[in-house]
């Protein structure tokens, strides 16, 4: 495999989990980072949907997760195979597998005290986040499969979500069905239609 092909593979979205060979080395990343980061930031703009005034859902894929891993390796100066594999094991579960959408969900308030008060009101909200394909029932999130992020007294400001869609839902999306996303909690109840640029990007998760 020539260098050009290797570089293209490392910087492109792929199907399935990432492996070490998909990643830049620390030296390679130092060179590639400015252009790669620019590409990922543009890509992320087509993967983010605000839900109401204080929540945002970021739909993840192999490219967003590669960026996350590369940044962790860079910051921590990790180059040992074992350490790289640990990062892969942490972030690979957030890559869609062909039947689902996966996302990072964030509740956001600038003021720490206001944030604390709201998070205490929003206990269980992570289980009330949903997506809905036009013509089908809502699909509620399977939240935080890696570890519990909420207590009886408050929810977390960040949640990791998986939405499992049926083959019929996926087919409808591919044929142009609209997609909505929302939160269904007594203290925070908002729903929005996913913009077309985001919907088009999400279709690639089912390719």
Distances (CA, A) of 28 to 7, 10, 24, 198: 9, 10, 5, 30
Question: Which two tokens mark 134?
Answer: 């036009």
Within a domain: 37 = yes
Residues 120 and 154: their CA atoms lie apart, in Å, by 4
Within a domain: 52 = no
Q: What is the reported pLDDT for 150?
A: 65
Within a domain: 186 = yes
Residues 138 and 132: their CA atoms lie apart, in Å, by 4
Within a domain: 132 = yes
Q: Verify that 78 and 119 share a domain, yes or no.
A: no
Q: Verify that 84 and 134 share a domain, yes or no.
A: no
Query: What average pLDDT does this structure show over 74-95?
Result: 94
Q: What is the reported pLDDT for 3?
A: 44
Q: Verify that 160 and 185 share a domain, yes or no.
A: yes
Q: Verify that 109 and 73 share a domain, yes or no.
A: no
Give residue-wise pLDDT tens across range 179-206: 999 999 999 999 999 999 999 999 999 9
Q: What is the DSSP letter of 110?
A: S
Within a domain: 10 = yes
What's the pTM value of the predicted model, to 2 decimals? 0.89
Give residue-wise pLDDT tens across range 117-174: 999 999 999 999 999 999 999 999 999 876 666 667 899 999 999 999 999 999 999 9
CA-based end-to-end distance of the chain: 25
Q: Verify that 29 and 75 share a domain, yes or no.
A: yes
Q: What is the reported pLDDT for 204?
A: 94
3-state secondary structure of 173: helix
Within a domain: 56 = no
Give the chain's mean pLDDT: 92
Q: Verify that 107 and 192 share a domain, yes or no.
A: yes
**pLDDT over 60 at 6, yes or no:** no
Q: What is the reported pLDDT for 145?
A: 78
Q: What is the reported pLDDT for 31?
A: 96
Q: Verify that 9 and 76 share a domain, yes or no.
A: yes
The number of distinct structural domains making up the chain is 2
Q: What is the reported pLDDT for 153?
A: 84
Residues 203 and 161: their CA atoms lie apart, in Å, by 17
Neighbours of 55 (CB within 10 A): 21
Within a domain: 51 = no
Q: Verify that 18 and 88 share a domain, yes or no.
A: yes
Domain extent at residue 29: 3-44+62-92
Within a domain: 49 = no
């Amino acid at each position: 495999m020539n260098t050009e092909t290797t570089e293209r593979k490392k910087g492109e979205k792929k199907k399935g989990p990432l492996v070490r060979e998909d990643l830049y080395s620390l030296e390679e990343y130092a060179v590639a980072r400015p252009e790669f980061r620019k590409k990922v930031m543009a890509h992320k703009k087509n993967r983010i949907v605000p839900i109401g005034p204080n929540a945002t859902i970021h739909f993840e894929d192999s490219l967003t997760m590669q960026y996350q891993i590369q940044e962790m390796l860079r910051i921590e100066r990790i180059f040992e195979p074992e350490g790289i594999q640990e990062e892969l094991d942490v972030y690979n579960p957030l890559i869609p597998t062909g039947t689902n959408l996966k996302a990072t969900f964030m509740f956001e308030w600038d003021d720490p005290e206001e944030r604390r008060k709201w998070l205490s009101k929003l206990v269980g909200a992570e289980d009330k986040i949903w997506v809905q394909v036009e013509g089908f029932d809502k699909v509620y999130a399977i939240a935080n499969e890696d570890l519990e992020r909420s207590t009886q007294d408050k929810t977390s400001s960040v949640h990791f979500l998986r939405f499992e869609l049926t083959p019929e839902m996926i087919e409808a999306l591919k044929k142009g069905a609209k997609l909505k996303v929302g939160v269904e909690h007594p203290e925070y109840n908002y729903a929005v239609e996913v913009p077309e640029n985001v919907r088009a990007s999400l279709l690639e998760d089912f390719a």
